[in-house]
Amino acid sequence: MTYDYDLFVIGAGSGGLAASKRAASYGAKVAIAENDLVGGTCVIRGCVPKKLMVYGSHFPALFHDAAGYGWKVGEAQLDWEHFITTIDKEVRRLSQLHINFLEKAGVQLIQSRATLVDQHTVEVDGRKVTADKILIAVGGRPVKPDLPGMEYGITSNEMFHLKEQPKHIAIIGSGYIGTEFACIMRGNGSQVTQIIRKDLILKGFDEDIQLEIQEGMTNHGIQIIKNSVVEAVEQVPEGLKLTFSGEHTEPLVADVFLVATGRSPNIEGLGLENAGVDVAATSIEGPGYNTMNAIAVNEYSQTSQSNIFAVGDVTDRINLTPVAIGEGRAFADSEFGGNRRVFSHENVATAVFSTPEAATVGLTEAEARSQLGDDAVKIYRTRFRPLFHSLTGASDKTMMKLVVDANTDKVLGAHMVGENSAEIIQGVAIAVKMGATKKDFDATVGIHPTSAEEFVTMR
């Protein structure tokens, strides 16, 4: 049978862009459909604009720290409108850049929503087209719990378009999105209250990372309400009133309310049922939190239909931009490049751009002990004040940790909290991925004086 395209991609985010360009480089006829700005969550309303906001939020601390080095810095004030507008301009520039990359690769961009009609047909831009293979890469979206007053809350999507800086922002959610925005807004001078349902933020991270970041956030003036759940939100003359159950019962009033309670694969309206594509249920704990569905795939990103594939957050594996890119390229190599391969989801490094920053790769201490037993795990840990702060007077600390297999000496995990954590762990991740031992770390000469050298001097 003759098809209109060898590959039709639904969604021009990180995974879809990577797969379409790679497939086109092998000579495939490729089209990609997107009904939003090209670039996906990362470029439009995720990693990139968020990191720019993180950079901006660090300047007040830098102005303060400069005094310790003899600099006299005058009164500083944030122009919020300029801040938000310039970030939006950069987002749009990057989106156009990705469109240019598609054109150079020979990928046809259809700026319209696409839905599945059957196993080989999609409806897009008011017409039906056919494809030998279809790739779904539509990502995810923020979701709110089904609780009274949630319509007054904004999500991470709207955080990049606030017309005014909040005087007081309340945030529910203990994950990296809520934590990062709490630190961003506090750094920019807003009063911040973060509400979490457990004792610690960042569930799933190594406990030392959880403890260090939470302590650092508290020291920087963020109020964290623990073991409490928002029961309802209502509009009052002073702003938005939040009522709670749990340890904290006193109502709280803020002028902006951010809901950062998770993201859901963006499968609604895709027509998965028309093509017989199966989904798998995942669940979020707690009252008002709904079960969500992700597209079920095998190790080759293949769905229940042999010619339909899915990559990225819509599959709910590891929801990170580099993972979506890696899955997309592995798919294209396998299906169009004659190089059938699986993308490895093991030892994927990640970071939390909070203040203090954190990064991690490999097993947490708890995971290692669960898999190997307590006697087979050896922990190396250091905590110190970085040299930079020896003159600033700040109490900020850096924590580094290695999780090691006591029987093989293999480094199973590396974790860090402190300035430049992400930049440092990126290099350490290479060693962990290659299976380096603690002796290999010890044999590496450190660069002095740096914080990073502590990873090769821990005893």
Query: Please, what's the b/e burial string for 345-376 (b: 16 or more CB within 10 A of its CB; e: otherwise)?
Result: eebbbbbbbbbbbbbbbbbbbebbbeebeeee
- Tell whether 47 and 91 lie within a shared domain: yes
- Tell whether 276 and 217 lie within a shared domain: no
- Tell whether 327 and 384 lie within a shared domain: no
Give yes or no for residue 357 having a pLDDT over 70: yes
Overall domain count for the chain: 3
Confidence of residue 291 (pLDDT cuts 50, 70, 90): confident
Is 126 among the domain residues? yes
Neighbour count for residue 162 (Cβ, 10 Å):
16
Res 287: pLDDT: 64
- Tell whether 137 and 11 lie within a shared domain: yes
Q: Is 195 exposed, middle or buried (0-12, 13-18, 19+ CB in 10 A)?
A: buried
d(CA 229, CA 276): 38
- Tell whether 200 and 73 lie within a shared domain: no
- More confident: 291 or 443: 443
Average pLDDT over every residue of 176-201: 98
Q: What CATH number does residue 206 fall under?
A: 3.50.50.60
Is 225 among the domain residues? yes
d(CA 452, CA 216): 20
- Tell whether 268 and 137 lie within a shared domain: yes
- Tell whether 188 and 58 lie within a shared domain: no
Residues sharing a CB contact under 8 Å with residue 139, sequence separation 6 or more, in sequence order: 11, 13, 15, 40, 41, 265, 266, 312, 313, 314, 324
Res 284: pLDDT: 65
- Tell whether 389 and 428 lie within a shared domain: yes
Which two structure tokens, joined as six digits, stand for 362? 């490999």
Is 381 among the domain residues? yes
What is the pLDDT of the chain when averaged over all its residues?
Answer: 97
- Tell whether 122 and 37 lie within a shared domain: yes
Neighbour count for residue 435 (Cβ, 10 Å):
12
Domain that holds residue 156: 150-261
Last residue of a domain, one of 261, 292, 322: 261
- Tell whether 40 and 182 lie within a shared domain: no
Res 315: pLDDT: 96
Give yes or no for residue 285 having a pLDDT over 80: no
Which two structure tokens, joined as six digits, stand for 437? 């031992």
Residue carrying the six token digits 């650092």: 216
CB-CB contact of 276 with 119 (8 Å): yes
Looking at the chain, how many residues does it have? 459
Rounded to the nearest 10°, the torsion over CA 407, 412, 417, 422 is: 150
Is 344 among the domain residues? no
Is 389 catalytic? The answer is no
Is 89 among the domain residues? yes
Res 286: pLDDT: 65
- Tell whether 162 and 235 lie within a shared domain: yes
Note the pLDDT tens digit of each residue in 373-413: 999 999 999 999 999 999 999 999 999 999 999 999 999 99
Is 342 among the domain residues? no
d(CA 30, CA 64): 53
Note the pLDDT tens digit of each residue in 17-57: 999 999 999 999 999 999 999 999 999 999 999 999 999 99
- Tell whether 277 and 362 lie within a shared domain: no
Last residue of a domain, one of 288, 307, 336: 336
Neighbour count for residue 117 (Cβ, 10 Å):
16
How many CA atoms are closer than 13 Å to the CA of 145, on its beta-carbon side? 20
Give yes or no for residue 96 having a pLDDT over 70: yes
Distances (CA, A) of 23 to 30, 105, 112: 7, 9, 21
Is 350 among the domain residues? no
Is 171 among the domain residues? yes
Last residue of a domain, one of 201, 226, 261: 261
Catalytic residue, chosen from 64, 161, 345, 448, is: 448
Res 292: pLDDT: 81
* Least trusted range by pLDDT, from 17-21, 236-240, 284-288, 337-341: 284-288
The share of the chain scoring above pLDDT 70, in percent, equals 98
Note the pLDDT tens digit of each residue in 59-95: 999 999 999 999 999 999 999 999 999 999 999 999 9
